[in-house]
Amino acid sequence: MADSFPQEAVSRGNLRSETVLVLALSLGASAVSSLISFVGSLTKPGGLQDQAAKLNGSYAPDRPWLDLSWQMFGIATALVPVALVAHLLIREGTGLRAIGFDRARPWFDLGRGTLVAAGIGSAGLAFYLVAHATGFSLTVVPESLPEVWWKFPVLILSAIQNSVVEEVIVVGYLLRRLGQLGWTPMAALVASSVLRGSYHLYQGIGGFIGNVVMGVVFVLLYRRWGRVGPLVVAHALLDIGAFVGYALLAGRVDWLPTL
């Protein structure tokens, strides 16, 4: 049966199946989960701003070593889809260097990523505060960990894990595969950006819109630089600022929404 199909058609079919499976194991599944969570928030009595979207919570309150074990397990297993992408790209004959996630230009990645984080961070915070005040966003609680010695290291590792998973998969890998499948640049940009917004929908409409815009910016920067390295740096710095900043400021300043 396989000999009756052109090799190109078989190859595209395999690439399509591969892409669906990678997303189903990672951010595609997160998007579905986020949609279900958003529907639950919409149908719950009260406004969105009266509900919380919690990140980085405790798995075992009052049992810090067990909690730490679960935290590290969660971070490690979340990176498995990235390892899968690396494996698939190596089989293709390229590896992660094909999407610019390597050590070839560390200072470029760090410098550009820091600049991007500085620009997006302030605008993103302002957008969130407006969206929350107008009822389009849940109250985002970036962390609710107990006051233990490993709290800030875990928050930083969680931020790095988020950035690696999202930028490697939703930008570098997805755009590469969609291009190989014949998608136009505009269609691929829309798909990547909407996917990014979708798995943040648990935060509300504001989280969806803000991340779609961020997705567009990141895709354009990736196409300009040909590297996801700066995007990983930028995303990590943004999440570190959100997680650690919330831990230090929540309840101490009036302008930061809390529940």
Q: Are 113 and 229 in contact (CB under 8 A)?
A: yes
The pTM assigned to this predicted structure is 0.93
The DSSP string of 60-114 is: STT-HHHHHHHHHHHHHHHTHHHHHHHHHHHHTT--GGGGT-SSSSHHHHHHHHH
CB 229 within 8 A of CB 105: yes
Pair 56, 143: CB distance under 8 Å: yes
Distance CA 156, CA 236 (A): 8
pLDDT in tens, the chain (259 residues): 334 434 444 488 899 999 999 999 999 999 999 999 999 999 998 889 899 999 999 999 999 999 999 999 999 999 999 999 999 999 999 999 999 999 999 999 999 999 999 999 999 999 999 999 999 999 999 999 999 999 999 999 999 999 999 999 999 999 999 999 999 999 999 999 999 999 999 999 999 999 999 999 999 999 999 999 999 999 999 999 999 999 999 999 999 999 8
Beta strands in the chain (DSSP E): 52-54, 139-141
Residue with tokens 């000999």: 3
What does DSSP assign to residue 220?
Answer: H
Query: Is the distance from CB of 252 to CB of 234 less than 8 angstroms?
Result: no
